[in-house]
Amino acid sequence: MTRLEQGVELWGQFALAQLDIKRRLGHIPRDNKLIWGEYLHRWDNEDWRMVLEAVGELLERYPDLFTTSQRRAFVHTVQTLLKYEHDHDRCLDTKLTKSTTWEMSMVLRELWVKCQEPLKPRPVKGLSSWQSLFE
């Protein structure tokens, strides 16, 4: 499995867990134990890097899929990872970065949902779904 595929796999597992919580509770509580305990507290810098690389690939191929705030959250999360990754193995799991991590986790879910709909590909590639994007 390539790094990109690993990133998409992590992203997908996380997004599906979030969707299940949202379906059961109607919303995702900010302190949800499953989200933090099974995912955000466990993901290390390398896991985040793989997920963010997958998001970056999506942004490059389908820029119109992202809202301005989603782009901003993505860039801020990447900058935060790069700034603190040398200080901590899980730099996005610290008190300092918790709000950044939470915002990006919601963006990951939102983008995953958008990618389940037919995509309007850029002229370079005629891809029609998220799954085919990385084949």
Residues whose CB is less than 8 angstroms from the CB of residue 93 and which lie 6 or more positions away in sequence, other chains included: 40, 41, 43, 101
User: Can you tell me the distance from the alpha carbon of 75 to that of 84, in angstroms, rounded to the nearest whole number?
Assistant: 14
**Distance from the Cα of residue 21 to its chain's centroid:** 17
The backbone torsions φ and ψ at residue 24, rounded to the nearest 5 degrees and listed phi first, read: -75, -40
Q: Supply 66's token pair.
A: 């992202």
Instruction: Give the pLDDT confidence of 32-87 residue by residue, as tens digits.
Output: 999 999 999 999 999 999 999 999 999 988 888 999 999 999 999 999 999 999 99
SS3 19: helix
Asked if pLDDT for residue 1 goes beyond 70, the answer is yes
Instruction: Give the pLDDT confidence of 78-120 residue by residue, as tens digits.
Output: 999 999 999 999 999 999 999 999 999 999 999 999 988 766 5
Give this prediction's pTM: 0.85
Q: Is the CB of residue 5 less than 8 Å from the CB of residue 50?
A: no
Residue ranges per domain, the chain? 3-116
Q: Is the CB of residue 7 less than 8 Å from the CB of residue 51?
A: yes
Residue 119 is predicted with a pLDDT of 60
